[in-house]
Amino acid sequence: MRTVTLPTEQRHLPRPGRYAVAPGRSLVELAARYGPLPTFRRRLTLADASLTVPDDDPDARPSLRFELLDPPAVLTGAHIAPLDGGRHLQVTGDLELRGVAFPVLLRLRVAERTDDLLLVVGTALMPYRLLRRATGFRLPWRRPATRLRLLVAAEFTCAAESA
């Protein structure tokens, strides 16, 4: 009897390459909450978003980057880990706001994944008081908050190769 060993690695990201978000195919929203009540909600303008999936180099890691225009901020994900067999992704990274990096944990649900497409929806929850002390970011005084939620939805497609 012959034994066949199958690869156990499950691919939780598309094939290696650089992925970008097409205009109009993303959404970023900031919501403030005071206890269970939402007190503020605003859509943010996304300047650029990219996902880099390295080749099979064991030292290279995939990275995620969202650049926001107003307020000017950059959300970078340095470590992407699969959860639930790849149906969810947990991204550990930083929100750079006013020159200060604030640690965030972004939990993404994978809505669709193919060899050259990744469609994700997820949130990052941040304590407002700590973010305000660290970065100086303030909401309007009439909008009390205990925590902020950053909602991200993006469709990453493979960037066209130049000929």
pLDDT tens, 10-31? 478 888 999 999 888 899 999 9
- Give the model's pLDDT for residue 9: 47
Length of the chain in terms of residues written: 163
- Give the model's pLDDT for residue 162: 37
Q: What are phi and psi of 98, to 5 degrees?
A: 55, 40
C-alpha 64/C-alpha 76 separation (Å) is 6
User: DSSP H helical segments within the chain, as ranges?
Assistant: 128-135
The identity of residue 89, as a single letter, is L
Regions of the chain where pLDDT drops below 70? 1-10, 160-163
Burial 10-36, CB ≥16 within 10 A → b, else e: eebbbeebebbbeeeebebebbbbeee
Give pTM, 2 decimals: 0.83
The identity of residue 141, as a single letter, is W
C-alpha 40/C-alpha 31 separation (Å) is 5
What are the chain's domains?
17-158 (2.40.128.110)
**For residue 87, what are its two tokens?**
């149906």
The identity of residue 101, as a single letter, is A
